[in-house]
A and B are shown apart, each in its own frame.
Chain A
Amino acid sequence: EAGVAQSPRYKIIEKRQSVAFWCNPISGHATLYWYQQILGQGPKLLIQFQNNGVVDDSQLPKDRFSAERLKGVDSTLKIQPAKLEDSAVYLCASSARTGASYKLFFGSGTQLSVL
């Protein structure tokens, strides 16, 4: 089966610019996640969707980050304006079901460098 698709693979922008990342989960997966992975740290959850509804966005910096999943399939994460500390890899993941025993499928990530 096709995996989780993310684009772009790399992005370099200057601070205060805006940027958007795209994710297409595995077909049929209702749950979609965006994680931020700063170099040397584990992934940190930014937002979790169940279909097109938000389940958890408690760690999303809402003054600059936004995410949507309008049709319950693919998703877009936006940063506006970007700060230097936003430099990280942004990972998208999906899961067929919720529950503690179900694994997440991750995309390869988008590496963002803010200069």
Chain B
Amino acid sequence: GDSVTQMEGPVTLSEEAFLTINCTYTATGYPSLFWYVQYPGEGLQLLLKATKADDKGSNKGFEATYRKETTSFHLEKGSVQVSDSAVYFCALVRENQKVTFGTGTKLQVIP
């Protein structure tokens, strides 16, 4: 079956540091890949997505590239801010919209 593996957190970074959160997946076929973010006290919301191999999703300075050869969808940001502190979920989505989430990675950015 489908599975998503994320790096364990928490990840603690200083403001303006470079961020990478690793995500790898196991799946057959060609699923879509998403990153969702959950800010404290709020529901999950879509951060970015990629629907086919080599696509790059981007939003709010975050980027992730769908790499089929390494089955990865790593999240990156060049310069994090305190407001980026949240839990980040990598997710694999099928055509029937069945979503498999990773366990989440908590990011804490300190001033």
Partner of A43, one of B46, B94, B101: B101
Pick the interface stretch among A11-19, A65-73, A78-86, A98-106: A98-106
Closest to B30 in A: A100
Interface size range of chain B in the complex: 20 to 34
A100 touches which one: B93, B101, B103, B104 (CB < 8 A)? B93
Q: A42-B89, A103-B34 are in contact. Are A4 and B96 (CB under 8 A)?
A: no
Among B36, B49, B98, B99, which residue has the most Cβ atoms of chain A within 10 A? B99
**Chain A hits for B46, CB < 8 A:** 103-104
Type the 1/0 row for A71-115, where 1 means its CB is closer than 8 Å to any CB of B: 000000000000000000001010100111111111111000000
Assuming A41-B103, A42-B4, is B96 touching A98 (CB within 8 A)? yes
| Chain A interface, >50% SS class | loop
| Contact A4-B97, Cβ < 8 Å, known A42-B89, A42-B104, A101-B49 | no
Partner of B98, one of A40, A56, A102, A106: A56
Q: In the docked arrangement, what's the CA distance between A44 and B1, Å?
A: 14
Once the chains are docked, how many angstroms separate the CA of A95 from the CA of B101?
Answer: 17
Chain A residues within CB distance 8 Å of chain B: 3-4, 31, 40-45, 48, 55-56, 91, 93, 95, 98-109
The 4 closest A-B pairs by CB, nearest first: A42-B101, A106-B43, A100-B32, A103-B46
Chain B interface (Cβ within 8 Å of chain A)?
4, 31-32, 34, 36, 41-46, 49, 51, 89, 91, 93-99, 101-104
| Contacts A48-B97, A106-B43 supplied; 14 other A-B pairs, CB < 8 Å | A3-B43, A42-B4, A42-B101, A44-B101, A45-B99, A55-B96, A99-B95, A100-B97, A101-B49, A101-B51, A104-B97, A106-B44, A107-B43, A109-B43
